[in-house]
């Protein structure tokens, strides 16, 4: 599957609209989950994904490394989500029992999910983003660095600081980031 995704990304970068569409179909659930984690509202998340797809299409020819399509489109999504979130601060947050939580949180209660989500929301934006990319999207440090356009060392430092802050915010100690 990875070889096919890479082939599609190369074709899309050369202007193949159908290849770009296939990539979007492949990553649509991922893009929605990521947007939802950032804006916490279904309608806003759909708008963010739409904006991301459009901006990605408009700039696909500038994709220098097709093997990083997922992190490239994630970078666009993060910017679109930040724009949408800053424009719509009054929106109601999501129900944390929803699908946006990583598989590892299925054994915790709804209250614990709310606490976790609230703790993540209280993090500075750069820490929140690395936590979401690492634990919800399962990106590597290298991919996160590419998506956020920062050095890998900064990603590691942000993850360490974010986990420390999360431990301080969470009362029960049910979230142990590795």
pLDDT at 103: 44
pLDDT at 89: 58
Mention every residue, 6+ apart, whose C-beta is less than 8 A from residue 109. none
pLDDT at 17: 94
pLDDT at 109: 66
pLDDT at 147: 85
pLDDT at 46: 93
Calpha distance 110→51 (Å, rounded): 31
pLDDT at 137: 81
pLDDT at 135: 86
CA 159 to each of CA 123, 126, 138: distance values in angstroms, whole numbers, following the listed order: 11, 9, 13
pLDDT at 171: 60
The answer to whether 49 and 35 have CB atoms below 8 angstroms apart is yes
pLDDT at 158: 94
pLDDT at 169: 79
Mean pLDDT in runs of 10 for the chain (178 residues)?
Answer: 90 94 95 88 91 94 91 91 71 45 54 76 87 87 89 94 86 49
Calpha distance 15→27 (Å, rounded): 18
């Amino acid at each position: 599957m990875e070889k096919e995704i890479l082939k599609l990304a190369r074709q899309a970068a050369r202007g193949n609209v159908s290849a770009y569409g296939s990539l979007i179909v492949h990553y649509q659930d991922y893009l929605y989950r990521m947007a939802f984690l950032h804006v916490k509202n279904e309608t806003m998340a759909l708008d963010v994904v739409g904006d991301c797809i459009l901006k990605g299409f408009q700039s696909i020819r500038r994709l220098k490394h097709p093997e990083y399509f997922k992190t490239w489109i994630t970078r666009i999504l993060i910017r679109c989500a930040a724009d949408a979130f800053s424009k719509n601060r009054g929106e109601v947050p999501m129900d944390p029992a929803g699908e946006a939580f990583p598989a590892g949180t299925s054994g915790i209660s709804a209250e614990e999910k709310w606490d976790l989500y609230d703790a993540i929301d209280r993090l500075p934006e750069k820490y929140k983003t690395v936590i979401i990319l690492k634990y919800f999207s399962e990106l590597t440090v290298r991919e996160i660095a590419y998506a956020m356009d920062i050095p890998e060392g900064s990603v590691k430092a942000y993850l360490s600081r974010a986990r420390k802050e999360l431990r301080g915010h969470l009362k029960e100690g049910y979230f142990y980031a590795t």
